[in-house]
Homo-oligomer: A and B are copies of this chain.
Amino acid sequence: MAADKSGTQPTKAQQIADELKAAIERGDYGPGDRLPGEKALAEQHEVAGLTARAALKILRTEGLIEMRKGASPRVMSFELIRRHGIKRLARDQWGSGKTIWSADERLPDVDQIAVSENVTPPPHIRDVFELAPSETVCVRSRRYLVDGRPVMVAESYLPQSLVAGSLITQADTGPGGIYARLTDLGHAPARYREEVRVRMPTVSEAARLAIPSERSVIKLARTAFDSEGRVVEINEMTMDSAAYVLDYEFDA
């Protein structure tokens, strides 16, 4: 790996960031508390302002602090959201509190719902559905908020021929949502695959999630199969990586 032109600065900044993170974890700084600003931090650690700034930027990238121009940074009070991938297991079989990270399941609000029909799917979606070249999909696009903060955007794809005329093509899909409607249509999801990747946000992802461009997103693609093994839905989620703990619980 080639050395950065900025030399050893990133490591020094990272060390300061690591120290500040430890202080936040220990509770020296609680939610809403102010951290030393760029100038104070630079003096304290006897480093350049740029280095102090880089350290604070790392904390902002991780979603630990908020920075506003002219004000010293403030510890975020946002609590991590726990997303359970596998819902069917009785949660009470598991020791409560036996989790590595503190995070609660919280129901997000939905805004920016859009439904489009007869859309030509992206190639990878077409492949997974095994659609003919002429076939199209219905796309349901949503944004999710927790405490007013955008935390996820999601695009759900369904074969047009499967869902045409059903409530799935409407903004309000009725009680039980699209999985209940797929069940009505004789294609109840029987199995799921969730694939998780991490990458930098695109311009539009960063804008819709209102995150700094340096903060990674979690890409979570959920594929639903009916009992015959047919793919009936693909849901591509893009999550603010600083907002979520993904949780999968399963038998050995």
- A: which residues have CB within 8 A of B? 1-4, 10-11, 14-15, 17-18, 58, 61-62, 66-69, 80, 85-86, 88, 93-95, 97-101, 124, 127-128, 188-200, 202-203, 206, 210, 212-214, 216, 218, 221, 223-225, 229, 231, 234, 236, 241-242, 244-252
CB of A159 to closest CB in B, whole Å: 14
**Residue in A3, A95, A244 with the greatest tally of chain B CB atoms within 10 Å:** A95
Question: Cβ of A249 and Cβ of B193 under 8 Å apart?
Answer: yes
In angstroms, Cα B218 to Cα A245, docked, is 11
Number of chain copies forming the complex: 2
Given contacts A195-B100, A248-B193, contact A213 B11 (CB under 8 A): yes
Question: Cβ of A100 and Cβ of B86 under 8 Å apart?
Answer: no
Which chain B residues lie closer than 8 Å to A58 at the CB level? Answer: 200
Given contacts A200-B61, A213-B14, contact A100 B124 (CB under 8 A): yes
Question: Cβ of A216 and Cβ of B196 under 8 Å apart?
Answer: no
CB of A237 to closest CB in B, whole Å: 11
Question: Cβ of A223 and Cβ of B191 under 8 Å apart?
Answer: no
Given contacts A2-B68, A188-B252, A213-B10, contact A15 B245 (CB under 8 A): no
In angstroms, Cα B89 to Cα A200, docked, is 32
Which chain B residues lie closer than 8 Å to A252 at the CB level? Answer: 88, 188-192, 224
Question: Cβ of B14 and Cβ of A202 under 8 Å apart?
Answer: yes
Question: Cβ of A221 and Cβ of B101 under 8 Å apart?
Answer: yes
In angstroms, Cα B128 to Cα A199, docked, is 30
